[in-house]
Structure 1
Amino acid sequence: MTRPWHLGFGLILTAIAGYVDALGFIRLGGLYTSFMSGNTTQFAVALGHGQPQLALLPALLILAFLLGCLCGGALSALTPSRWGTPVILGFETAVVAAAFEAAVAAPDSGLASLMLALAMGAQNAALSHVQGFRAGTTFVTGALFSFGHKLALALARRGARYAWVGDGVVWLALLVGSLAGAVAYGRLALYALAIPAGIAGVLALVATILTARRASGTPTL
């Protein structure tokens, strides 16, 4: 896969993170399936208020996300570098699809939320080898800071004029994905999870094709 493809994939993956986070936030009443800073704060507040029962779910979500990071890192380490992205995306597709099935079969069990956190943790490793690239992760605080910093430098004429655009687009991808997730949940309820599962599957298939073409020496865009 070439860098333009990685950029496109990264923006779509960022949108997926926003999408499932919006579903998780609505369904879980203020918790997240990809934004672990928020869950960590919720966990600490529950403990600080002497309510360990309310700290359990955010703790489980954090642990599931961490397990996903471990799985993504292991797959990345054990797979030839050029095949890392297709393999991790395939894993993410399988887990999100399983989350969809769990949500439909047992909507009140909370299992689907944990599976989504697992998938989002793994997703962060999908493009980790692309240097200097923030898209594809499940958090955009760093991108938002970079956006503001680069914009300030551009306005002061001390940096590249349009260097801030990329970071702004990453933040916008998360925003659009979150909005889409909220709208989809309002119309489809838990069946909305079929959408990110399908998109992740398409990305995994395209990544596999592109990687195979490059391995065989066939030019790619």
Structure 2
Amino acid sequence: MKRSSQLAYGLVLTATAGYVDALGFVRLGGLYTSFMSGNTTQFSVALGHGEWRHAILPCLLVGMFLIGSVLGSGLSLVVPARWATPVVLTFEALAVLGALSLGIATPDLGLAALFMALAMGAQNAVLVQVQGFRAGTTFVTGALFSLGQKIALALTGRGPRYGWVGDGAVWLALLCGALGGAVAYGSFGLLALILPAAVTSAFAVSAALHSALRPVEKTA
């Protein structure tokens, strides 16, 4: 896969994460489906105030995200390397569809969100690394710090003048995705999950075709 294709692929996945996170945030009234630092803080504050009932959902979201990361990473390890990306993306798409199905079938706010967190945990097993910056993850705190660091390097002449652009694009992708998720949920409710399910499904098919058409590397 060419560098430009890798970059576009990773940025769209990052935007998808922002979209799902904003959708979950609005639906749950302040909890997240991919930003686990926020959920961990919410969990800790609830415990500190003795609000045990309010501690349950953020704890479950963190747990499901962790399970998703274990399953996504496990799948990428046990299948042949060339098929890791399409397999993990297929799992993510199925998890998003599971969230949509549960959300339609039951009015419970938490069940759909748990599957959204599962999907986001799995997505982090599909990492796109392009010349020093990483896209495709569901969190950008590291990218934001790297952006500031590279701007400082550029301003002092100790780094590439435009070395910060990649990390800036990753942050902007999450921002735009989150904006889209908030607007879409306001208009369509949980049916807005159709878009990330379609995106991850299309990427899974594209990655599978790329893997199938790529010549098999001969081992010595």
TM-score by length of 1: 0.94
- Corresponding letter in the other structure for 2:134: R
Q: Measured at CA, do residues 130 and 212 of structure 1 come closer, stay the same or move farther in structure 2, by a change above 3 Å?
A: farther
Provide runs of 4+ in structure 1 moved above 6 Å: 128-131
Q: For the Cα contact (< 8 Å) 2:24–2:33, is it kept in 1?
A: yes
CA contact (8 A) 2:72 2:121 kept: yes
What residue is the counterpart of 1:18 in the other structure?
18
Aligned to 1:169: 169
Sort the Cα spacing of 1:132 and 1:71 in 2 relative to 1 into closer, same or farther, 3 A: farther
Q: Is 2:82–2:211's contact at 8 Å kept on the other side of the alignment?
A: yes
Unmatched segments (≥5 aa) in structure 2: none
Q: Distance in 1 between matches of 2:129 and 2:74?
A: 14
TM-aligned CA distance change 1:81 to 1:162, over 3 Å: same
Contact kept in structure 2, 1:61 and 1:114, CA below 8 Å? yes
8 Å CA contact 2:7, 2:130 repeated in 1: no
> Who is 1:118 aligned against?
118
Instruction: Identify the residue that residue 100 of structure 2 maps to in structure 1.
Output: 100
Distance in 2 between residues matched to 1:106 and 1:199, nearest whole Å: 24
* Shift, 1:77, TM fit: 0.7
How many residue pairs match? The answer is 217
Distance 2:131 2:2 in 1: 13
Instruction: Give 1:107 deviation, angstroms.
Output: 2.9
Distance 1:136 1:163, change over 3 A: same
Aligned to 1:186: 186
Q: CA deviation at 1:129?
A: 7.5
The structural deviation recorded for 1:2 is: 3.9
- What's 1:143 paired with? 143
Equivalent residue for 2:33? 33
After TM superposition, the score normalised by the length of structure 2 is 0.94
- What is the DSSP-based 3-state SS (H/G/I as helix, E as strand, rest coil) of the residue aligned with 1:215? coil
Whether the 8 Å contact between 2:99 and 2:116 is mirrored in structure 1 is yes
Residue number in structure 1 paired with 2:43: 43
Which range moved further: 125-134 or 200-209? 125-134
Computed over aligned residues only, the root mean square deviation of the Cα atoms, in angstroms, reads 1.6
**Is contact 1:6–1:127 with CA below 8 Å preserved after alignment?**
no
Unaligned runs of 5+ in 1: none
8 Å CA contact 1:153, 1:159 repeated in 2: yes
Match of 2:206 in 1: 206
The residue type equivalent to 1:202 in the other structure is: A
Structure 2 equivalent of residue 55 of structure 1: 55
Q: Provide the C-alpha distance between the structure 2 equivalents of 1:157 and 1:133, rounded to a whole number of angstroms.
A: 19
Deviation of 1:133 after TM superposition, in Å, equals 4.0
Identity of aligned residues (%): 62
**Cα 1:156/1:132, change in 2 over 3 Å:** closer
